[in-house]
Amino acid sequence: MLDFVIKETKKFLNGMPKSERKKKGQFFTSIETAAYMASLFTLGQKDEISVLDPGSGTGILAAAFIERIQTENIVKKIVLTCYETDNQVLPVLKNNLRYIKENSSIVVEYHVIQDDYLLSQANDFEENILANPDPPKYDYIIGNPPYLRVMKDNASALSMPSVVHGAPNLYFLFASMSLFNLKPNCEMVYIIPRSWTSGLYFETFRKYFLKYGKLEHIHLFVSRDKVFSQEQVLQETIIIKVKKTNTPPERVVLSSSKSNEDFNSITEIELPYNAVVVGDEWYVFLPTNEEEVKTIQRVNMYKKTLPEIGIRMKTGIIVDFRQWKDLRKTEEKGTVPLFYSQHIKNGRVNHLPSGKEFDWVVDSNSGLIQENKDYVFCKRFTAKEEQRRLQCGIYLASDFPQYTKIGTQNKINFIERADKKNLSLNEIYGIYAILNSTLFDMYYRILNGSTQVNSTEINNIPVPPLSDIGEIGRRLIQSNDLSTNNCDKILSEVAYG
């Protein structure tokens, strides 16, 4: 059955350019991933079950689900509902479902709804006056939703305001709607990007999704980009199994495999629920081995965040393409140095001319420049292949004594006291040591799968007390060695107690 669907999908793919499908957020699940997703459901002996596959494409996921039921011979009848809007894939879907019905050893009743999965039910979701008093609910939902960022005034975005913050991606609107469509205590398995697990942008969604649903199993792909290897999707993707309940399970299973074609060598760990869903922001941590688990536990033992000890990471002020009129390539009267990520090198900040960039900014616009005082700078963007996400440098005002002001480009973050007074030299070096340590870099990478370093997330990481930070800095200055090894050593001596 699954083989037939895959064969038909391949035929469809041959006649449909990827660029066309991308516009619709259309990427198909591999046979191995579909079978693995179906295997995650908790199934028992039953006469009849209802199953939903929203955004079904060619029906790969529905086929995998039915194949599992059939093999285990535990259910007599399946009532399957598929939503799909793409007129080009719909004939393939219908043909596949007909084949499944005719060739299955269990009774399959299917309904293809050629309508927008979100808009057709948005009234029910938001429970306004037009809502259906008895919206359809399902026993099982299996999904690979469209990955498509839409404008904030897109009809789908406007129709689900309770989970939207800014311009949403359809994938998390689908996930919210599916949770809504589940019967109480029933399960959904979804393959989605991992981006929603952290960050302010997804907080509204996280708080809805994890309030009404509880994560029971998360599967990660350890090597990135392999999830849709045939499809070459560059998003980092995870599989989640979520139960619709208010009660968190004691433990969550975190499994990982190398790619979407290799589910034979799966590594599994189990963690307490509150080690995975953490803090007031409801971040979801995704460790894949014991070392990463220890890292999370280690850092989460610290009680306060940077803002709670009066310090903040902020994003650099100058956006090149907006302020280009105020930028200069060479120093002129009335200009001050502008700092970029290229100026962060070996733990310090220089101002060597980059050649390509505007290295100076006029000092007449006070909103664009800031005090020349000591900071810790941190790159906002790093390349995927680079080992570290947190790449920092100590900026000392004494290296640039001729200026009272400087500029920072918005591709770096800087750290200062929340009241803008000066941090002591020990504190500056101490903050650098923490961010330059292996512990914090690993913690950040477990928290955030992307290559960006967001100040909001750094500001939410627990850090050692300020007195310890000062002591770490003092020892770092004394040692005259800014390397990560030395930062690790000093951090463990002072703040692992």
Nearer to ligand SAM, 116 or 261 (CB): 116
Show the DSSP H helices in 73-149 as ranges. Answer: 90-103, 122-126
Cα→Cα distances 81→16, 41, 117, 281, Å? 25, 17, 11, 34
Shortest distance in whole angstroms from residue 211 CB to ligand SAM = 24
CA-to-CA distance for 183 and 206, rounded, in angstroms? 20
Nearer to ligand SAM, 56 or 455 (CB): 56
Cα→Cα distances 477→398, 410, 480, 488, Å? 15, 28, 5, 14
Shortest distance in whole angstroms from residue 116 CB to ligand SAM = 4
Nearer to ligand SAM, 56 or 450 (CB): 56
Q: In a 3-state reduction of DSSP, which class is residue 230?
A: coil
Shortest distance in whole angstroms from residue 146 CB to ligand SAM = 4
360-362 sheet: strands from edge to edge:
327-328, 360-362, 335-339, 405-408, 370-371
Nearer to ligand SAM, 89 or 318 (CB): 89
Q: What percent of the residues of the chain are helix, what percent strand, and what percent coil, each to the nearest 5? A: 35, 25, 40
Under DSSP, the state recorded for 27 is -
E strands, 303-371, where?
Answer: 304-305, 311-315, 327-328, 335-339, 344-345, 348-349, 360-362, 370-371
Shortest distance in whole angstroms from residue 183 CB to ligand SAM = 21
Nearer to ligand SAM, 30 or 295 (CB): 30
Shortest distance in whole angstroms from residue 123 CB to ligand SAM = 15
Nearer to ligand SAM, 40 or 313 (CB): 40
Axis crossing angle, helix 425-435 with helix 466-479, rounded to the nearest 10 = 90
Shortest distance in whole angstroms from residue 309 CB to ligand SAM = 44
Determine the Cα angle at 379 with ends 220 and 426, to 5°.
Answer: 110
Shortest distance in whole angstroms from residue 242 CB to ligand SAM = 17
Shortest distance in whole angstroms from residue 290 CB to ligand SAM = 33
Nearer to ligand SAM, 84 or 187 (CB): 84
Nearer to ligand SAM, 55 or 464 (CB): 55
Nearer to ligand SAM, 59 or 213 (CB): 59
In DSSP notation, 267-322 reads EEEEEEHHHHEETTTTEE----SHHHHHHHHHHHTS-EETGGGTEEEEE-SB-HHH
Shortest distance in whole angstroms from residue 433 CB to ligand SAM = 44
Nearer to ligand SAM, 25 or 464 (CB): 25
Shortest distance in whole angstroms from residue 331 CB to ligand SAM = 52
CA-to-CA distance for 73 and 221, rounded, in angstroms? 30
Half-sphere exposure of 98 (CA within 13 A, CB side): 7
Q: Interface residues with ligand SAM (CB under 6 A)?
A: 24-29, 55-57, 60-61, 83-86, 89, 116-118, 144-146
Cα→Cα distances 486→42, 77, 393, 432, 436, Å? 49, 64, 15, 12, 10
Q: Per this entry, what is the length of the chain? A: 497
